[in-house]
Amino acid sequence: MKKFLKINGILLTACFFTIFGCQESTPKKPDNEAVLNRPPFAALTDSIKRFPDDADLYFRRAERLSQNNLTDIATADYKKAWDLKQEVLTGMHYASNLGINSQLDEEIQLLLDCIKKFPEENGFKRLLGETYIDAGRTKEALGIYDEAIKTDSLNFEAWYEKGRLLEQSRDTSGAILAFKKAYTLQPIPMYAMELAHVYAEAKNPLALQICDRVLEYDSAHELTDPFFIKGIYYSNTKQYKPAAIQFDSCIKRDWKFTEAYIEKGIAFFKQKDYDTALSTFRMAATVSNTEPDPYFWIGRCLEAKNNKQQAAEYYQRAVELDRNFVEAKEALRRVGG
């Protein structure tokens, strides 16, 4: 299962649902036109007809389409806005939209053009690196940051981004080296937590030292990530009781920290305390009823208690929330759902 931190709030997960289906024999263009000529898009469409060379109007309509989960239709407006007026914000949103629609080749080419036009905007390089990863082109992704480091070995942002890419590609030792360099050059909590997280996943006790050091400077007593990472370390090293204590510390500071409930429940599950695990996962589902993981683990507990019929219902719920949830699909087949 995925483990994620609430470190910088930069990374956002975007998803969309196609709500206008049509048969193969039905042309797509009329459907798009019908959408664009009804609220809440009609006013902007009328303005575009009056001012067809106004890039801002296309951009605004694209944004509104995206907000209504119509990212496939928004692509044409983003492209038109970009063709009319090439600006940083337009390029960033256009590239992100292409990524959402899995048009990775087009996104990569656009980002390369943006980097040439706006070399000072590191956001394009960061997004290009992530897109290369999504496209399975890890070597090219790393090349972006290796080149930046070659130009300036003190570029802590490049070291940090390289560490993120190496972590995603499961190069633990490389990620540790990169994060250590970034943290040495710029000792901020975000870099410390990334390094500690990799250590925790590698079962290295240095994770605890880094977390404790960060907590020493947390005078406001607001941080949750150090406790969460300590919990991950203890759980990975099969020290489940102290793991649960750390996850409880997260929850005390942020009762909406869904992943802390899930990891705490997993700790009880691994001890075969299925009743306590079940109640913990149910609490996670209450806190966030749109996350698939709590339902998956509720299913695991019910299956372990030999309640396969009810387990199937929760596995099905997890799959409905995430169509790419492979483990939930396998579990559903296993219980005969």
Q: Which of 61-70, 121-130, 315-324 has the lowest mean pLDDT?
A: 121-130
Task: Report the pLDDT value the prediction gives residue 28, as an integer from 0 to 100.
Answer: 43
Task: Report the pLDDT value the prediction gives residue 21, as an integer from 0 to 100.
Answer: 41
Q: Which long-range contacts (CB under 8 A, 24 or more apart) does 200-203 make?
A: 200/229, 200/230, 200/232, 200/233, 200/236, 201/3, 201/172, 201/232, 201/236, 202/172, 202/176, 203/233, 203/236, 203/237
- Please write the tens of the pLDDT for every residue from 298-310: 999 999 999 999 9
Show the tokens assigned to 115: 């980097």
pLDDT, the chain, mean: 90
The pTM score is: 0.71
Residue 36, pLDDT above cutoff 90? yes
- Please write the tens of the pLDDT for every residue from 186-244: 999 999 999 999 999 999 999 999 999 999 999 999 999 999 999 999 999 999 999 99
The Cα–Cα gap between 66 and 78 comes to 10
Task: Report the pLDDT value the prediction gives residue 5, as an integer from 0 to 100.
Answer: 52
Task: Note whether 11 and 168 are within 8 A (CB).
Answer: no
Show the tokens assigned to 99: 């990524």
The Cα–Cα gap between 98 and 76 comes to 10
- Please write the tens of the pLDDT for every residue from 158-174: 999 899 889 988 899 99
Give me the mean pLDDT over the 15-26 stretch: 39
The Cα–Cα gap between 196 and 182 comes to 13
- What proportion of the chain, given as a percentage, has pLDDT over 90? 80
Give me the mean pLDDT over the 102-122 stretch: 94
Residue 47, pLDDT above cutoff 50? yes
55: confidence class by pLDDT, cuts 50, 70, 90: very high
DSSP notation for 244-262: HHHHHHHHHH-TT-HHHHH
Task: Report the pLDDT value the prediction gives residue 323, as an integer from 0 to 100.
Answer: 93
Buried b (16+ CB within 10 A) or exposed e, 277-295: bbebbbbbbebbeebbbbb
Residue 324, classed as helix, strand or coil, is coil
Helices and strands, number each (H, E), in the chain: 19, 0
Residue 16, pLDDT above cutoff 70? no
Query: DSSP character for 238?
Result: T
Residue 15, pLDDT above cutoff 80? no
| Side chain identity, residue 5 | L
Task: Report the pLDDT value the prediction gives residue 290, as an integer from 0 to 100.
Answer: 95
Residue 1, pLDDT above cutoff 70? no
The Cα–Cα gap between 277 and 293 comes to 13
Task: Report the pLDDT value the prediction gives residue 149, as an integer from 0 to 100.
Answer: 93
| Alpha-helical runs (H) found in 152-224 | 156-168, 172-185, 189-201, 206-216
Task: Report the pLDDT value the prediction gives residue 20, as an integer from 0 to 100.
Answer: 37
- Please write the tens of the pLDDT for every residue from 116-136: 999 989 889 889 988 998 898
Give me the mean pLDDT over the 8-20 stretch: 37
Instruction: Provide Rg for the chain, Cα atoms.
Output: 23
Q: How far is CA 304 from CA 238, 269, 273, 278, in A?
A: 20, 9, 10, 10
Give me the mean pLDDT over the 34-39 stretch: 94
The Cα–Cα gap between 137 and 187 comes to 30
- Please write the tens of the pLDDT for every residue from 258-287: 999 999 999 999 999 999 999 999 999 999
Task: Report the pLDDT value the prediction gives residue 138, as an integer from 0 to 100.
Answer: 85
Query: DSSP character for 337?
Result: -
Task: Report the pLDDT value the prediction gives residue 23, as an integer from 0 to 100.
Answer: 43
Task: Give the side-chain half-sphere CA count within 13 A for 132.
Answer: 22
Task: Report the pLDDT value the prediction gives residue 130, as an integer from 0 to 100.
Answer: 85
